[in-house]
Amino acid sequence: MIRDPGFRVVFWLSAIVLFLPLTWPLATGRVFGYWDLGAFNIPLRYEYQNALRHGDSVLWTSNLFSGFYIHGEGQGGFFHPVHQVLYRVFPLGIGLNLEMLAGYIGGFAGMYVFLRRLRLRTEGRLFGSLLFGFSGFTLMHYDNPNLVIVFVHIPWLLAAIDVVIAANHRGAVAAGYAAVAALLASAILFGFPQGAWWSLLTGAGFAVLRASSARRWRRLVPIAFAIGTGLLIGGVQLLPTLDMAAGSIRPLVPRTFALEFSLHPLNVIQFWSPYGFVERFYEIHEPHYLREFGAYSAAILLVALPWIWVRRRSLERERLLIVRAALAFAALSLVLAFGRYGGLYPALTHLPVLGTMRAPARYVGLVQLSLIVIAAIAVDDLLAFGSGNGKISRRDVVVLCIPAALSLATTLAFNALPFARHAGLPFSSLPRAAVGTALMAAVTACMILTARRTKWGPAALVLVTAIDLGLWGVRETWRTPPQTLASLTERIPPPGPGDERNVYVLDPELPGNLATMKGYRLATGYVGLPPRTNYHISSIVSLQLSGTHYHFSLAGGKEPIPDPVARVRLLTRAEVTDSFYRDFARVDLHEAALIDRPIEPLTGPPGDAHVVVDRPGDITVDTEAPGRQLLASSERYYPGWRATVDGEETAVVAVHGDFVGCVVAPGRHRVRFWFAPRSFGMGVWTTFAGLAALFVAVAAIARFGRTSLHR
């Protein structure tokens, strides 16, 4: 092994330089606010932190869709211990920055630990950690911190699985068992179901590989039980998410929805010519988002493959097996990333749960993960070769130059000649495309020089790779400079008094849920699992029933919604219907309601109702009525709402099918509505059961297992 201190010096300097742009917002009191950060993630965490600090329920919010099961939506990860600490202790901006940085630090450390389990030397581990910690996939998805942090669980999970299979001592097996269960539970609790599925898919494949190579098939049994335990521990998030998914519009959308954001096969050009396209990717049918279609990560991922080929007869059997498996998994993941173009992913759309997950292009993250493992093995072997007495032949040099030659040929054919651009093809200019070719050539040259025992070759390889990662990914995080939280909403005027908070926003300059941070209640919202409703969410009747007072836009100001209902009201007439949308026009929304099942007769003229407490998932109303009447609110209904009248529980009525209500008797009464869905209660008990099962299993393995385990 080359013991050149220059390698580690250049490595750590490069890692720091790559990491500093990501830490700058934390150091300056700012946040990145582009794309889903401003539209979704920051407002979501704002709601979450407010609920934590005011002692409110984190299950429900009144500020989206006029009421929404926000915990069931899943992407907030409200019950993960890390989120509980970050958003209880720190201000919103600091908590968000720490959460985002944790993903990159965790990815760096996790890959180091996994590569150590594969017995790579320190330099190989460090190099692989750099590639994964600042990979194109994680940096391109910087605006989705929950996606990043769930994705970087994967190498940690693989390392834990390896411990369970390879360990010869019962204490180590018990620790590995606990780690597998805890890591899977953590991935679920952080709140990105697609990422948890990636963890299961990758972990299962690796477990079979390691059990086969070690001839320890019986070790798959504790791994299976650990995975089951992890699913149980994640129940507090998993069951509400399954509940919300079933009650959302997702099951109703056509199968083509799951095929949105399919990676066009022409994007394989990115692997050797990353700047060959004008937008760095090719797409003709989908929205043009680089974060979804950026397949490239670093030149070394491709250049490493010829080195493996050259050294295939010299690699250890176990390493060669890992390389072959990683290549196969990368190929499978790439076909899945092709989505509608690949033939395999459409079959998954017929499966429950998986059929509702869109954006197959995100499987490119697993492609990069697989290639990073191969690249780390290649660099580890390269450094060992460069410190020995072996010689690299001219034929080997030619093989190593294949990726650079392919990049040069692509650039000359599609970027140097004008016919491609004149024909309307989205190829970039020659100078821009040449950057990718230069990087490919530079990485190839560094590998050849290292193989020929040039002293500064390894350090140069690290430096060029760091430049490559910075140009492709780190630079993308600064597409929009960081800004203060206040500046995100500075153009939004504050709401007026009372119910003027209830607005319907339709304005491209007010993306997603940003207006909630200014105190508005939105009649709609930007979420992954929009609720299923009887009236279209933006229809006039839905806006009226939700108490929405205005259409709101920055350009047009506030345009009144005609005749919105009050926050609470007493109704004296109710009609049973099997079609709310068909029959709503024949009733006065202020005096009568449509319901889906009979209730006791209503009597008397309308009484009075006023709100005493109006908190997320907890509404108290005082009523006074001359007869039995239906108390209706503008809070959206979802199964799980409960009600009491003067402390006695009563049935909740879905007013117009979409809003919360109940029947009250004559006289004065205090009515309380609160949200306590069964899926959450079952999830809590499931989590406790999982924790108990984990304790029992770990104790049993550690206490009653054999001291030495060789099978």
Domains assigned to the chain: 288-452 (no CATH), 489-560 (no CATH), 568-676 (2.60.40)
What is the pLDDT at residue 507?
67
Q: Backbone phi, then psi, for 607, in 5-degree steps?
A: -90, -165
The pLDDT, as a whole number, for residue 182 is 96
The pTM of the full predicted model, rounded to 2 decimals, is 0.93
Angle at 190 between CA 487 and CA 142, to 5 degrees: 45
Strand 629-636 vs strand 659-664: parallel, antiparallel, or unpaired?
antiparallel
CA distance 224 to 216: 14
Q: Tens of pLDDT along 635-694?
A: 999 999 999 999 999 999 999 999 999 999 999 999 999 999 999 999 999 999 999 999
Sites in the chain below the pLDDT cut of 70: 1-5, 418-424, 497-500, 506-509, 556, 705-711
Structure tokens at 633: 């609110």
CA distances from 491 to 76, 501, 553, 621 (A): 26, 16, 11, 35
Alpha carbon 687 to chain centroid, angstroms: 22
Position 553 scores a pLDDT of 80
Please state whether beta strands 573-576 and 592-595 pair in parallel, antiparallel, or not at all (unpaired).
parallel
Distance from C-alpha of 131 to C-alpha of 369, rounded to nearest angstrom = 9
pLDDT, residue 218, reads 92
Determine contact, residues 220/207, Cβ cutoff 8 Å: yes
pLDDT tens digits, one per residue of 160-215: 999 999 998 889 999 999 999 999 999 999 988 889 999 999 999 999 999 999 99
Pick from 395, 377, 389: nearest CA to 316: 377
**In terms of Cα–Cα distance, which of 520, 512, 515, 516 is closest to 495?**
520
SS (H, E, C) 436-494: HHHHHHHHHHHHHHHHCCCCCHHHHHHHHHHHHHHHHHHHHHCCCCCECHHHHCCCCCC
Please give the structure tokens belonging to residue 85. 């600490």
Residue 646 identity (one-letter amino acid): D
In this structure, the dihedral spanned by the alpha carbons of residues 687, 690, 696 and 699, taken in order and rounded to 10 degrees, is -90
pLDDT value of position 2 = 47
